[in-house]
Structure 1
Amino acid sequence: MPIRITGMGSGLDIDKLVTDLMKAERIPLDKLKQKKTLVGWTSDLYREVNTKLTSLRKAANNIRLTGDWQNSKASSSNDNAVSATAQAGVPLTSHSVFVEKLATGAMITGAKQADNFDPSKVVIGGNGTENLIINGKPIEYKASDTLKSVMDKVNASDAGARMYYDEITKQVSIVSKDTGDLAKLDLAGSTGPILGVVGISTTLANGQNAKVIFDKGKNSPTDPGITISSASNTFTANGITYSFKEVTTEAIKINVSGNDDGMINQIKEFVDQYNATIDLLNERTKEKKSKGFNPLTEDQKSDMKETDIKNWEEQAKKGLLSNDEIIKSTLRDLRSIINGVVSSNPKDFKTLSDIGIDTMPYNAASPKDSGKLVIDESKLRKKISEDAGSIVALFTDQNNGIASKTYDQVNKSISGLVEKAGGVGSPAENLTTFLGKQLTDINKQITSFDAKLARKEEYYYKMFAAMDSAVSKNNSQLNWLMQNGR
């Protein structure tokens, strides 16, 4: 800012005159800045809603798939040998498990190598280009290749096998990626010295299935139990998934017990997030604007206390999202989903109301609570004990599940809000959003108007400077005449 010495000739307070004139000139600029503040506040409120919807989406995502539910829990007497997990709705039960054989892949192992054997330094040798053939798939190698580079080629190929060197046994092995009786390794047709280098003489091998006996001796000492053969060491039956890890010499006990508290906590988390979301959406769409509370100008703020400014701005922000169509449609859609029917479920398990989760009616004394959910925990526990699987289906059904549809709807709403105001954490002046473009345009107008005001202020100072100079000259002439006149 230039340093000016004004009013020397006229004695006028030119700075004050210019300041007062500029106040009138700045009125349009103040209105632009107020508009910018309103757009910024609106953007912040949309992002607040977006944050709340994101929390609801997370809660819905946690229970929209059957495998997410914590209704039943399985425990093992020896997790190192056999572990188990139970899906929701699995009846309380127990089983004994003997593992006679583990499922294995086909394996061909070479001869033991010297202690200083290093695959990265062993050059295959031979003449030209040769092929290691695994299950009919040729893996090409050259005489200059090292054993390490050949193993890398095998492991990156589609031959369905791994080739590795065991530093403990000092042996090179080729093993199929699949397990079970149908897994095989066939090295027939391989050319060149590769098999001789690693000491492999066998060219054909097969895997084996796991052999497991369930509930042996359950009904009587001579009860043979149920024997299963599995190509994998993971086996699922009646909603329980078993993982076989070791051959056993004694029965491993698997118990499936209830976890109703876990299931109820999951439902409560969803309901809490839903209610928090409904609470905010109701507040934002139904609050009325406070008349006479516009954003404060800098001059207005300079005459106010911090607490007064804060209280004023709280009033000024009210109603900015009143009757907003995105939020209103989100409210309608969420309420429709919550009141929906899963027709594929059994009778008395088709709606949330059936299991003890009801919608609060409208209350004029507390309009924000309209549409919130309330849980009758006693009824919910009773329904879980009757048919936990149907309760899970009520939330997870692919077509009409409450959590599934809520997740999809919230995703849609978040996309609409991001398009309007940007995502949480993104810059406010984002040209890809509706409000971001508005802010950018307003900032351009403010910059242009600032330049215009600077020119106007300079004009006023020049005008008063000319007047001051003229007054000074006239005063000098008058003084001369008075001193030299008669």
Structure 2
Amino acid sequence: MAGITGIGSGMDIDSIVSAMVTAEKTPKQNQLNTVEKKATTQLTSLGQLKGAISTFQTALAALNSSSSFLARSVTASDAKVLTPSASQSAAAGTYQVSVSQLAVSSKVALAAVPADSTKTLSSGTLEIKVGSTTALKIDVGSGNNTLAGIRDAINKSGAGVTASIVTDDKGARLTLTSNKAGDGNDITVKATNVGTDGDSSLSLLTFNGSAGAPVATDYAGGEGDADYQAALQAFNTASGSGSSGKVIAEAKSAQLTIDGLSITRDSNSIDGAIEGVSFNLLTTGTSNLTVARDEAGVKSKVQSFVDAYNTMMGFINTQTKVTTVTDNDAPVVGALVGDSSVRALVNVVRNELVAAQDGTVKVLTNLGITTQQDGTLKVDSDKLGKAISNDYEGVAKYFTGDSGLAARLGNKLKAYTETDGILEQRTDMLQATLDKVDKQNEDLTTRMNALSERLYKQFNAMDSLVAQLTNTSNSLTSLFENMPGFVTSKE
């Protein structure tokens, strides 16, 4: 009914009804807005508090892990020679590693063929070996009887040999690279069942691992074998033109000594030579490996524990503080001021921090960790470092184990962050409050709509009555003015 104005009375019914509805609605709406704002702010703050506690729990878990104190650090005096790593089983000590030769994989270039992508090779079978092991066999036919076709077939096989084509002054060459290093793991290639088709013989690609001629004993029929004769002829032809196959890199094993003890490996990744220590060889040379307890790692985890605790306490301090702005302005009140669950949390954590325990390290102050006026912790880095160096086991006992500080604090915090825990219950209560506010807002809107409709009806009825009375008055006035002898006084 909005938009109707007083036709009969001349009143602005819309404005009157709107003002009356607003006057009725505003006090309750302000009350609901206040409740909603407070509950929303508290809900947000509790979510942030839960996140801060979870971060603190993560730091505690890292500190309580036995691996934190069992971990070993390993350093190399010359990082250009090798890069090391160590597991928990590594014994502390120093080792001299001298690398005289790196492991190298085989790389060869096969005989050159005409550098024309349209030129074909005869049909047959190409067998590629790495050492004494056959890596793959390729059947060469009309679908792949070019260098590019053979290259693609090798690369698609995933057999540990990759191929590419290099064109030099003598023609196009198929280059093969093995991913297996070590003495004796050289690439050899043999062509068998060679046909007479194609522009060049597949036998040209035969390669026995050196620049020498093919070996008759590598073929089933010996010197009388047709494939051997074809390979020999191809070799002689290629040798005469300088286009025969070549060794680019000979397969070699890594050779090194550890404290004078000789070690040979088919890889540059050395594992098992020193218990618990592995390293990757980068170049020849000498580097000293030093294995020690990971004191820096422990110190870092203790610092992370302090930082996470300070973040949590800093947030709690902000959310539970009342700040006076000016004498005339209302103070700024934190969202969690007066929250009993937060007060209980602070008390529980502080009680565990000051509780003494058995061992050479009894309290945090023994590690150079003290409590500041605002409840946060401060670390004396030098004192912490000395405590870890001088009493490594004592520091480990203080933090780790079922009775260690990390476990005790972690168990206390579980009650707040676990499913159906204290914070979740508080969150559910606040969410229930917001749901009630939403319902009351809906009810308030319904009541105000009903009030508006009722007022419009009342004012419109009054307006209609006024219109009728005005019409009656006008009719009577007109009647009297038209009666005989009736004189209207005019000024």
TM-score tier after normalising by the smaller chain length: 0.5 to 0.7
1:163 counterpart = 2:174: no
- TM-score, normalization by structure 1: 0.58
Paired residues of 2:128 and 2:136 also in contact (CA < 8 A): yes
2:455 to 431, 456, 460: 460
What do residues 110-130 of structure 1 show as CA deviations (whole Å, max 9, x unaligned)? 525569588xx9989858x99
Superposed, 1:128-147 pairs within 5 Å as 143=141, 144=143, 146-147=149-150
Q: Secondary structure at the match of 2:175?
A: strand
1:382 counterpart = 2:413: no
2-structure distance, mates of 1:149, 1:412: 62
1:356 counterpart = 2:393: no
Quick one: which amino acid aligns to residue 385 of structure 1?
A: S
1:214 counterpart = 2:258: yes
**1:49: Cα distance to partner?**
1.7
**1:474: Cα distance to partner?**
1.8
Question: Which position in structure 2 is the counterpart of 1:247?
Answer: 284
Name the CA shift for 1:257/1:152 in 2 (closer, same or farther; >3 Å). same
Paired residues of 1:131 and 1:138 also in contact (CA < 8 A): yes
Paired residues of 1:234 and 1:243 also in contact (CA < 8 A): yes
Paired residues of 2:188 and 2:207 also in contact (CA < 8 A): no
Paired residues of 1:74 and 1:256 also in contact (CA < 8 A): yes
Q: Name the structure with the higher strand share.
A: 2
1:317 counterpart = 2:352: no
1:154 to 152, 157, 178: 157
Quick one: which amino acid aligns to residue 233 of structure 1?
A: S
**1:253: Cα distance to partner?**
5.2
1:268 counterpart = 2:268: no
Quick one: which amino acid aligns to residue 468 of structure 2?
A: K
Question: Which position in structure 1 is the counterpart of 2:77?
Answer: 76
The percentage of counterpart residues that share the same residue type is 15
2-structure distance, mates of 1:138, 1:110: 17
What do residues 285-310 of structure 1 show as CA deviations (whole Å, max 9, x unaligned)? xx4999xxxxxxxxxxxxxxx99999
Q: Secondary structure at the match of 1:317?
A: coil
2-structure distance, mates of 1:404, 1:198: 68
Question: Which position in structure 2 is the counterpart of 1:297?
Answer: none
Superposed, 1:288-437 pairs within 5 Å as 314-315=332-333, 317-319=335-337, 321-323=339-341, 332=348, 348=360, 353=364, 356=367, 360=371, 369=375, 372-388=376-392, 391=395
Paired residues of 1:110 and 1:201 also in contact (CA < 8 A): no
What do residues 224-247 of structure 1 show as CA deviations (whole Å, max 9, x unaligned)? x33344555345747765431123
**1:444: Cα distance to partner?**
7.3
Question: Which position in structure 2 is the counterpart of 1:424?
Answer: none
2-structure distance, mates of 1:114, 1:4: 99
**1:277: Cα distance to partner?**
1.0
Question: Which position in structure 2 is the counterpart of 1:293?
Answer: none
**1:99: Cα distance to partner?**
0.5
Structure 2 gap ranges (5+): 195-201, 210-217, 219-249, 481-485, 487-491
2-structure distance, mates of 1:153, 1:377: 57
What do residues 53-92 of structure 1 show as CA deviations (whole Å, max 9, x unaligned)? 4654675688768589999673534x33334467899999
Paired residues of 2:82 and 2:282 also in contact (CA < 8 A): yes
Name the CA shift for 1:434/1:245 in 2 (closer, same or farther; >3 Å). farther
Quick one: which amino acid aligns to residue 466 of structure 1?
A: A
**1:199: Cα distance to partner?**
4.4
Name the CA shift for 1:420/1:8 in 2 (closer, same or farther; >3 Å). farther
Paired residues of 1:89 and 1:387 also in contact (CA < 8 A): no
Paired residues of 2:2 and 2:14 also in contact (CA < 8 A): no
Name the CA shift for 1:175/1:336 in 2 (closer, same or farther; >3 Å). farther
Question: Which position in structure 2 is the counterpart of 1:300?
Answer: none
Number of aligned pairs? 420
Question: Which position in structure 2 is the counterpart of 1:477?
Answer: 472
Name the CA shift for 1:465/1:67 in 2 (closer, same or farther; >3 Å). same
What do residues 14-53 of structure 1 show as CA deviations (whole Å, max 9, x unaligned)? 7345522443256555555444333422332123224434
Q: Secondary structure at the match of 1:9?
A: coil
Q: Secondary structure at the match of 1:323?
A: helix
Question: Which position in structure 2 is the counterpart of 1:295?
Answer: none
What do residues 302-337 of structure 1 show as CA deviations (whole Å, max 9, x unaligned)? xxxx9999957x43834485426xx96798589769
